[in-house]
């Protein structure tokens, strides 16, 4: 566990004690990453904002949901945001299908996400490592991971869209996850 | 019985990416309850895959949230009810019309409320419940408070054969104790299966959506209060609970 992880733990402890400044500090640290992934998954400004708000509120409401013994706060919280984003985008899709009309929500602004957003140095480093690890994956594995993670698609749907057996989707997904685990493990351990 | 860890790894990878559906999602749920807690290898795999999943979020470009988001968040935090506080009826009724639906079916009525802070998400769920209730074969089920559970906190379950989605709705659901949440269980022949993640009411209003559930496989529904942090293996009888028959 590095110094930044320990700092997160301390902030989480303070949030558990209802310390608002600690909550704001966690928002400052992770708000951009949370909004970035929520926007990437949902492609909708308003839904992404709701996702981020709900995730931070869930943290405020039940900080006990994070168990430090199970990993870094960063992974826990960004997973929470991702889960909520996928839930939201699937809900929207079902509503669209059922009502056969477009969702009554503003489209994404279309602005290019700012790569020069100011964020903590350790997150910049970690982001670089994750992207480097992703780049080592074969394109076919990157594709199924992208469709599952950032498009919120099920393995069944991915198989349908790519016209490949679902077993192939599973194999590629598992291979991708194992390679990423190996690539990122050194960083976790350091 | 031989354990196929390759198969379990496939399911765990799909599970952390939220890409399982149907029977495979149910199989993963069973494995997470029946096998993973007692298998150090699988616990480690799950933990590492979850870490990968969390870090994958960093592959998306960071984006500054709107400046209005943090003030809205602060406002919503002020409204988060303290554990154990009785839900305020007024807070539920004073909701924008777009976020409220009144449903009357078979003598059963419920008000689906939502706070403005996340009105769209909750309105979406409310609309889906309405849609589900119109599905062929839909039959709302009363999930009634047990023992010391507040008698006016009844929960309604809605599902239909063709949607493989289960909804829970309640108007006056008490907050669980600190460090606890509510867990849905489905039972068949006395065997109880925890379904999906824990959930919490908001200002007393409960709107829950559980996907990929084949309700026809079960004959009873139980909602219990469980401690956060460890996946429950059997329904707790210590806190509030609600019970209903699906047959």
> Which pLDDT belongs to residue B162?
64
If asked whether residues A21 and A78 sit together in one domain, one would say yes
**What digits encode the pLDDT tens for the residues A104-114?**
333 344 344 44
Contact call for B62 and A72, based on CB within 8 A: no
A3 in the same domain as A95: yes
Q: What is the structure's pLDDT at B95?
A: 29
Counting the structural domains of chain A, the total is 2
Query: How distant is the Cα of A164 from the closest Cα of chain B, in angstroms?
Result: 16
* Ranges of residues in chain B whose predicted pLDDT is under 50: 82-118
Instruction: Note whether A18 and A105 are same-domain residues.
Output: yes
A168-176 mean pLDDT: 97
Tell which wins on pLDDT, B103 or A36: A36
CATH of the domain at A138: 1.10.10.10
Dump pLDDT digits (tens) for A41-85: 999 899 999 999 999 998 998 888 888 888 899 999 999 999 999
Residues A148 and A162 in one domain: yes
Among the candidates A119, A137, A156, a domain finishes at A119
pLDDT digits (tens, 9 = 90+) for B62-92: 999 999 999 999 998 887 554 433 333 333 3
Smallest Cα distance from A90 to chain B, Å: 10
What pLDDT does B150 receive?
83
Mean pLDDT for the stretch of residues A25-41 = 96
Phi and psi (nearest 5°) for A12? Answer: -65, -40
Residue A63 and residue A37 share a domain: yes
Has this prediction a pTM greater than 0.90? no
Last residue of a domain, one of A119, A146, A170: A119
* In a shared domain, residues A54 and A12: yes
Q: Is A101 found in the same domain as A64?
A: yes
Distance CA A10, CA B216 (A): 46
**CB-CB under 8 Å, B229 with A64:** yes
Q: Which residues of A95-128 are buried (b: 16+ CB within 10 A; e: fewer)?
A: beeeeeeebeeeeeeeeeeeeeeebeebbeebbe
Contact A51, A42 (CB under 8 A): yes
What is the model's pLDDT at position B199?
A: 86
Residues A30 and A75 in one domain: yes
In this predicted structure, what is the pLDDT of residue B134? Answer: 65
Q: Which of A119, A142, A161 finishes a domain? A: A119
**Looking at the structure, do residues A4 and A93 belong to the same domain, yes or no?**
yes
Query: Nearest-CA distance from A168 to chain B in Å?
Result: 11
User: Looking at the partner chain, which of A27, A113, A153 has a beta carbon nearest the beta carbon of B63?
Assistant: A113
Residue A3 binned pLDDT confidence (cut-offs 50, 70, 90): confident
Q: What's the pLDDT score for residue A149?
A: 95
Distance CA B122, CA B184 (A): 19
Are both A125 and A97 inside the same structural domain? no
Residues of A in contact with B99 (CB under 8 A): none
Q: d(Cα A146, Cα A135) in Å, to the nearest integer?
A: 12
Cβ distance A82 to B125 less than 8 Å, yes or no, reads no
What pLDDT is stored for residue B112 in this prediction? 29
Give which of B5, B7, B9, B19 to mutate to test A binding, by max A Cβ within 10 Å. Answer: B19
By residue range, what is the domain housing residue A188?
120-190
pLDDT, position B122: 63
Asked if B62 and A52 come within 8 Å (Cβ–Cβ), the reply is no
Rg of chain A (C-alpha set) = 18
Q: What CATH number has the domain bearing residue A35?
A: 1.10.1740.10
Q: Is the ipTM of this complex over 0.95?
A: no
Q: Do residue A25 and residue A47 come from a single domain?
A: yes
> What b/e sequence results for B47-61 when a residue is b if at least 16 CB atoms lie within 10 Å of its CB, and e otherwise?
bbbbbbbbbbbbbbb
Q: Which residues of A touch B201 (CB under 8 A)?
A: none
Q: Would the CB atoms of A81 and B57 count as touching at under 8 Å?
A: yes
Interior/surface letters B121-140, b for 16+ CB within 10 angstroms, e for the rest: bbbbbbbbbebbbebeebeb
Q: Shortest Cα distance from B187 to chain A (angstroms)?
A: 25
Residue A188: its chain B contacts at CB < 8 A?
Answer: 51
Question: Does A95 lie in the same domain as A175?
Answer: no
Q: Report, as an integer, the average pLDDT of A134-161.
A: 95
């Amino acid at each position: 566990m590095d110094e930044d992880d320990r700092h997160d733990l301390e902030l989480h402890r303070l949030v558990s004690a209802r310390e608002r400044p600690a909550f704001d500090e966690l928002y400052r640290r992770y708000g951009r990453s949370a909004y970035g992934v929520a926007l990437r998954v949902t492609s909708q400004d308003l839904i992404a904002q709701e996702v981020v708000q709900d995730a931070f509120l869930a943290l405020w409401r039940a900080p006990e949901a994070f168990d430090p013994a199970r990993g870094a706060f960063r992974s826990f919280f960004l997973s929470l945001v991702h889960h909520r984003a996928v839930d939201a985008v699937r809900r929207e899709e079902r509503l669209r299908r059922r009502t056969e009309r477009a969702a009554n929500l503003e489209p994404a602004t279309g602005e290019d996400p700012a790569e020069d957003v100011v964020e903590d140095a350790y997150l910049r480093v970690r982001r670089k490592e994750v992207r480097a690890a992703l780049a080592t994956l074969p394109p076919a594995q990157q594709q199924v991971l992208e469709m599952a993670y950032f498009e919120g698609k099920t393995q069944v749907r991915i198989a349908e869209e790519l016209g490949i057996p679902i077993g192939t989707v599973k194999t590629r997904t598992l291979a991708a996850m194992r390679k990423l685990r190996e690539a990122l493990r050194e960083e976790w351990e350091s | 019985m031989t354990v196929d860890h390759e198969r379990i790894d496939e399911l765990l990878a799909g599970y952390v990416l939220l890409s399982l559906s149907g029977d495979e999602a149910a199989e993963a749920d069973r494995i997470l309850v029946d096998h993973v807690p007692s298998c150090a290898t699988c616990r480690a795999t799950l933990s590492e895959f979850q870490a990968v999943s969390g870090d994958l979020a960093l592959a998306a470009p960071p984006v500054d949230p709107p400046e209005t988001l943090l003030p809205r968040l602060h406002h919503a935090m002020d409204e988060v009810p303290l554990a154990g506080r009785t839900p305020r009826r007024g807070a539920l009724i004073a909701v924008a019309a777009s976020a409220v639906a009144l449903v009357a079916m078979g003598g059963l009525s419920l008000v689906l409320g939502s706070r403005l802070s996340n009105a769209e998400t909750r309105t979406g769920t409310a609309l889906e419940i309405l849609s589900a209730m119109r599905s062929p074969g839909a039959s709302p089920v009363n999930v009634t408070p047990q023992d010391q559970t507040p008698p006016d906190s009844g929960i309604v379950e809605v599902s239909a054969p063709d949607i493989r989605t289960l909804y829970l709705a309640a108007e006056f659901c008490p907050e669980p104790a600190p460090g606890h949440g509510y867990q849905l269980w489905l039972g068949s022949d006395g065997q109880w299966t925890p379904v999906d993640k824990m959930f919490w009411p908001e200002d007393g209003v409960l709107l829950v959506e559980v996907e990929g559930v084949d309700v026809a496989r079960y004959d009873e529904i139980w909602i219990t209060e469980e401690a956060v942090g460890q996946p429950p293996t059997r329904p707790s009888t210590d806190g509030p609970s609600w019970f209903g028959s699906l047959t």
